[in-house]
């Protein structure tokens, strides 16, 4: 009973906090919300033990030489970075004139993969301003579908929940029939694009890979779906590079065409390993832009 009441109070507090930022965005724009974010995040990281417990497994592995003060600063930067992403999401949803500019490193490579007609799986992660950046993927010229656990009732609204315009990606719900696999396979057979989160295992098939010196369990969904049509898998990770700028980069391309059925499990595991290496390379360059607030190595 007490736990249930505490949960309701926490959610009510979160909702109030988001509403305050929504009002700030309407009155002062992105800059004003960014200014408000600094004291809010500073207070949170000073007073909350929970956030330090949540980030500690990553911070200790990514910054093994850091002492307590520098670990606190790393946690502040991660939470502040995530806060900026949430502000950007709300800003894009509430302000019709809001826009983020950016580039896709590897654009021509993606176009060549699409031209093969086998479909294309984009293995993405909870990094950078991934959601806002993916809104530009329809520029590649074919329909884009996102296989995701979508919950419209969440307090932290997606930018497409806050505006009247349709989301530029079609959502395939993971809680649908067979986890959305039938619909996702049909997308690839039509030669279209499918985005799949590769850095968070929830259910289904998985493989183990090394990340920052320790084994992690990662989903094989991107590779099992790609193998149904022989589609390539491109590891595409986003990063926020300035207040209104982002970059999407192709970090690796993994082929599934021509893999014998008997060798597929090994191929899936190898693909997961390559995804983990790409993510680790990303974290070397953008260490404060990965948003997994739990012990990722104990899944």
Q: Are residues 85 and 121 in the same domain?
A: no
Could you tell me if 284 and 171 lie in one domain?
Answer: yes
Co-location of 286 and 160 in the same domain: yes
Structural domain boundaries, residue 64: 2-94
- 182 and 42, same structural domain? no
Kindly state whether residues 59 and 130 are assigned to the same domain: no
Q: Are residues 149 and 285 in the same domain?
A: yes
List, for residues 123-167, the tens digit of each pLDDT value.
Answer: 999 999 887 777 778 788 899 998 987 654 444 444 445 556 566
For residues 182 and 118, membership in a common domain is answered with yes
* Residue 10 and residue 126 in one domain: no
- In the chain, what are the helix, strand and coil shares in percent, each to the nearest 5? 50, 20, 30
Same domain, 123 and 51: no
Q: pTM of the prediction? A: 0.89
Last residue of a domain, one of 94, 111, 141: 94
**pLDDT in 10s for each residue of the chain, 299 residues:** 554 544 454 554 566 667 888 888 889 999 999 999 999 999 999 999 999 999 999 999 999 999 999 999 999 999 999 999 989 988 887 887 888 888 899 999 999 999 999 999 999 999 998 877 777 787 888 999 989 876 544 444 444 455 565 666 788 888 766 778 899 999 999 999 999 999 988 888 899 999 999 999 999 999 999 998 899 999 999 999 999 999 999 999 999 887 777 788 899 999 999 999 999 999 999 999 999 899 999 86
DSSP string for residues in 138-199 = GGGSS-EEEEE---TT-SS--GGGSSSSPPSSEEEETTSGGGGHHHHHHHHHTT-EEEEE-S
Give the CB-side neighbour count of residue 238, counting CA atoms within 13 A.
Answer: 27
Computed from CA positions of residues 204, 126, 56, 284, in that sequence, does the dihedral angle turn out positive or negative?
Answer: positive
Identify the domain boundary among 53, 70, 94: 94
**Count of domains forming the chain:** 2
Regarding whether 233 and 143 lie in a shared domain, the answer is yes
Q: Are residues 234 and 155 in the same domain?
A: yes
Same domain, 144 and 227: yes
Choose the final residue of a domain: 94, 126, 148: 94
């Amino acid at each position: 009973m007490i736990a249930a009441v505490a949960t309701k109070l926490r959610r009510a507090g979160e909702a109030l906090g988001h509403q305050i930022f929504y009002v700030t965005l309407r009155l002062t724009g992105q800059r004003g919300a960014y200014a408000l974010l600094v004291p809010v995040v500073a207070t949170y990281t000073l007073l909350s033990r929970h956030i330090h417990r949540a980030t500690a497994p990553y911070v200790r592995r990514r910054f093994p030489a850091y002492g307590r003060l520098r670990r606190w600063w790393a946690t502040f930067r991660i939470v502040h970075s995530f806060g900026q992403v949430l502000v950007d999401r709300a800003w894009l949803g509430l302000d019709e004139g809001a826009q983020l500019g950016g580039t896709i490193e590897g654009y021509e490579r993606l176009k060549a993969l699409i031209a093969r007609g086998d479909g294309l799986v984009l293995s993405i992660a909870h990094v950078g301003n991934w959601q806002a950046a993916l809104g530009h993927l329809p520029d590649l010229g074919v329909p884009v579908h996102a296989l995701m656990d979508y919950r419209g009732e969440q307090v932290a609204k997606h930018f497409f929940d806050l505006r009247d315009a349709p989301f530029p990606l079609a959502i395939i719900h993971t809680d649908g029939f067979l986890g959305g696999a039938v619909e996702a396979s049909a997308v690839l057979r039509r030669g279209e694009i499918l985005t799949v989160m590769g850095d968070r295992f929830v259910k289904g098939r998985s493989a183990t890979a090394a990340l920052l010196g320790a084994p992690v369990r990662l989903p094989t969904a991107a590779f099992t779906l790609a193998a149904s049509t022989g589609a390539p898998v491109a590891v595409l990770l986003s990063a926020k590079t300035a207040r209104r700028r982002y970059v999407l980069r192709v970090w690796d391309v993994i082929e599934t065409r021509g893999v014998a059925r008997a060798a597929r499990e090994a191929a899936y595991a190898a693909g997961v390993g390559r995804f983990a290496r790409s993510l680790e390379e990303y974290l070397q360059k953008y260490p404060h832009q990965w948003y997994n607030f739990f012990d990722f190595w104990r899944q």
